[in-house]
Amino acid sequence: MSPDGSTVMANAASLSQTAAPVIDARGVNLVFETADGPVQALKDVSLSVTKGEFVSFIGPSGCGKTTFLRCVAALETPTSGALTVNGMIPDQARRARAYGYVFQAAGLYPWRTIAGNIRLPLEIMGFPRAEQDARVDRVLKLVDLAGFGRKYPWQLSGGMQQRASIARALAFDADILLMDEPFGALDEIVRDRLNEELLSLWARTQKTTLFVTHSIPEAVYLSTKIVVMSPRPGRITDIIDSPLPRERPLDIRESPEFLAVAHRVREGLRAGHVEV
């Protein structure tokens, strides 16, 4: 699929360029039993993501974006339907270190340095010490935090903390990156820069990325595929394959193609609203 040939880092899983989807959801339903009765968080969600795609999930809050990501991560179990990750059930995929998860809050441990935080999953997964150090160095460079390894989280800005948490998710070479509104708590300026960096990171690492956002420009700017969702019950109302090229300078956001995609997303969101 990817024409840009820079697949140096993509061979880790070596399943690579086959057509088999990395994430395959077919008719996934999830009902939460709450005190106020059942809540249908996901209704008949079907979605196929191939290797190296950047997929954004956009929709009003409560439409099940987080829930879907958590299903992929095996943090929730669908009530019915079929969901595979790298061809495995999500729980197996988790144990095979298929994905790194980035939450809205950086969630760095205050008692560990930045390097210590990034090392944490490596310790748990039993990497040898020397390799831990090498990997920490590598991902720190990748997110542009080289030299900050010995700092403590409170010494870093919010944007830098979030970059560190992305580095932590990248450290063990999972080939899927799950990100739930990672920049939601940051201001617009920092967010723009991090979006650009994330795009270049994605281009370099070829990670299949699932990215939840509230922002239409962010979704259009980053994605090869945009999934529009609507609430009550949480469902997919539109799936848009972006016609934008993979190489995206920031000012692409003024181009007619960009605006056309943004328009379609907005239409999809509105349609979801009217139906209810």
DSSP 176: E
> Token digits for 71?
């299903």
Q: Measured from the CB atom, is 109 or 241 closer to another protein? A: 109
Q: 243: closest CA among 233, 255, 231? A: 255
Count of positions on this chain that bind ligand ADP (CB under 6 A): 12
CB of 74 to ligand ADP, least distance (A): 15
CB 209 within 8 A of CB 203: no
Residue type at position 46 = S
Q: Dihedrals φ, ψ of 227, to 5°?
A: -105, 115
| Binder of residue 63, out of another protein, Mg ion, ligand ADP, none (CB less than 5 to 8 A by kind) | ligand ADP
Applying CB under 6 A, which part among 17-25, 56-64, 134-142, 262-270 lies near ligand ADP?
56-64
DSSP string spanning 39-59? Answer: EEEEEEEEEEE-TT-EEEEE-
Binding to ligand ADP, residues 9-48 (CB under 6 A)? 32, 34, 39, 41
The entry of another protein, ligand ADP, Mg ion, none that residue 276 binds, CB within 5 to 8 Å by partner kind = none
Site for Mg ion in 51-80 (CB under 5 A): 66
In the complex with another protein, the residue whose CB is nearer, 176 or 244, is 176
Q: CB of 209 within 8 A of CB of 179?
A: yes
Burial 114-136 (b: 16+ CB within 10 A, else e): bbbbbbbbbeeeebeeeebeebb
**Footprint on this chain of another protein (rule: CB under 8 A):** 73, 75, 94-95, 97, 99-101, 103, 105, 107, 109-113, 120-121, 123-125, 152, 154, 172
Closest contact distance (angstroms) between CB of 65 and Mg ion is 5
Contact 135, 171 (CB under 8 A): yes
Residue 69 Cβ, how far from Mg ion at the closest point, in Å? 8
Task: Using alpha carbons only, give the angle 45, 265, 240 rounded to the nearest 5 degrees.
Answer: 55
Residue with Cβ nearer another protein (110 or 249): 110
Footprint of ligand ADP on 114-133 (CB under 6 A): none
Please choose, out of 4-12, 60-68, 108-116, 267-275, the segment that lies near ligand ADP by the rule CB under 6 A.
60-68
Distance of CA 5 to the CA centre of its chain: 22
Answer whether 125's CB lies under 8 Å from 54's CB: no
Q: Is 138 exposed, middle or buried (0-12, 13-18, 19+ CB in 10 A)?
A: middle
Q: How many residues bind Mg ion (CB under 5 A)?
A: 1
For residue 203, what are its two tokens?
Answer: 């281009």
Closest CB 110 distance from another protein, rounded Å? 7
Binders in 62-81 for ligand ADP, by CB under 6 A: 62-67
Q: Which residues bind Mg ion (CB under 5 A)?
A: 66
Q: Which residues bind ligand ADP (CB under 6 A)?
A: 32, 34, 39, 41, 61-67, 234
